[in-house]
Amino acid sequence: MSPLSVLDLPQLYTKPSAKALLDTLALLTSAPSSWDYNADPDTKDGLDLDTQGEVERVQIDSEGVARYLTSIVSNSLKWIPDEEVKEEIWNQASLRLSERSGRTAMGDLNRRFTIPTRDGSFELNIHEPALTGDDLGLKTWAASYLLAKRLHLFDLIPPGQRDKARVLELGSGTGLVGLAMAGLGADVVLTDLPSIYTNLARNAKTNASIVEQNRGIIRTGVLDWTSPHSCTLFPEDVVDTNGDGDALSEKFPLILAADSLYSPDHPQMLVNTIAAWLSEDVDSKVIVEFPYRAAYLPEIASFRKQMTMIGLQILNEGEEKGFDDWGDASKDEDALVTCWWSCWGKNLPGQDS
């Protein structure tokens, strides 16, 4: 079906009904209906914005849409008698405009993510504050949702195992990967920089009951890869990093990280941090997932090289596609990212690397 033109939408000079305008504004949502990339466009699952319900997606040519939305925002809508309904129309038009300016212009939001398990699924609620400056960890990235959905396939928690799998996540951001791992029944420490900590701790608190129900444990802390040997954990009810925390001392048989390589320093810093916290067990593992962003391909190559230099080898790897919703998410293909996942283990004597 060819896309509709903005001229096919209800024009204000015809004094369209409030319902016609609200229905049109729902059609113009540019949030992706799903973060799941699926070759079958009829299969939907995944992203659910708190602020809106499911809407059927209709292709609308983006030419002139911003002008159309601006005309609604600046029109007095005199023919609509109900003041509250008018407010709602202006509000929805403003939201559509900010979505079109990209995620950076949007306010805070809550996303619900469905995480598959061996025999079902559970839901996580993730808060993303309005984005400010360079704090990339305040948004949930495609690689983290892909990895969160992949975790159950690694058989990291064999059924009937008495001791919980102990896991450290580096650069947790909003916490989706670490919380998913805890929701699968692991004992997880989620970490990031101080500026990201408050939102990370908030998301840990929000999802504490589903994690507990699934027999997992979560702790949160600050671990800056520039000081790779030091990690401070804060009590559950502390959502800032001003008070006293406890130094983490244990090492971990499993380390996770998603979308952590976007500066030339990152590969070395991340690998040093992995080396500092990975336990000596022969079956210790590191599982990472990174998007292939053209500007950062050398970082991925450097990460691979440096992981082998600390005695790790790839046990399993693959590629998959997911969505980042930066920019104009209405052009879904633009938001599509190919990500590389890999599971690393110890390079034992006598094995080829």
Ligand X SMILES: C[S@@+](CC[C@H](N)C(=O)[O-])C[C@H]1O[C@@H](n2cnc3c(N)ncnc32)[C@H](O)[C@@H]1O
DSSP, res 182: H
Q: Which two tokens stand for residue 186?
A: 């692991």
Nearer to ligand X, 157 or 269 (CB): 269
Does 173 engage in binding with ligand X (CB under 6 A)?
Answer: yes
Alpha helices in the chain (DSSP H): 18-27, 65-73, 83-100, 142-150, 176-183, 194-206, 208-213, 266-277, 297-309, 332-335
Interacting residues with ligand X between 217 and 256 (CB under 6 A): 224-226
* Cβ pair 203, 126 in contact under 8 A: yes
Secondary structure of residue 291 in the 3-state scheme: strand
**Residue 194 token pair:** 């101080």
Least separation in angstroms between residue 101's CB and ligand X is 20
CB 192 within 8 A of CB 178: no
Q: Which is nearer to ligand X, 90 or 154 (CB)?
A: 154
Task: Decide: is 192 part of the binding site for ligand X (CB under 6 A).
Answer: yes
For residue 199, state whether it binds ligand X (rule: CB under 6 A): no
Rounded Cα distance between 172 and 84, Å, is 41
The CB-of-92 to ligand X minimum distance in angstroms stands at 28
- CA distances, 311 to each of 203, 314, 347 (Å): 34, 10, 5
Nearest CB to ligand X, comparing residues 72 and 248 = 248
- Smallest separation (angstroms) from ligand X to the CB of 138: 8
185 binds ligand X (CB under 6 A): no
Q: Which stretch binds ligand X (CB under 6 A): 83-91, 108-116, 173-181, 303-311?
A: 173-181
Closest residue to ligand X, based on beta-carbon distance: 137
328 binds ligand X (CB under 6 A): no
Structure-token pair, residue 228: 């790779």
In this complex, which beta carbon is closest to ligand X, that of residue 97 or of residue 176?
Answer: 176
Q: How far is the CB of 187 from ligand X (least distance, A)?
A: 19
Shortest distance (Å) from residue 309 CB to ligand X:
20
| Contact positions with ligand X (CB under 6 A) in 131-150 | 136-137, 140-141, 143-144
C-alpha to C-alpha distance for 109 and 341, rounded to whole angstroms: 27
Cα angle 255, 256, 260; round to 5? 125
Chain residues binding ligand X by CB under 6 A are: 136-137, 140-141, 143-144, 171-174, 176, 192-193, 196, 224-226, 258-260, 269
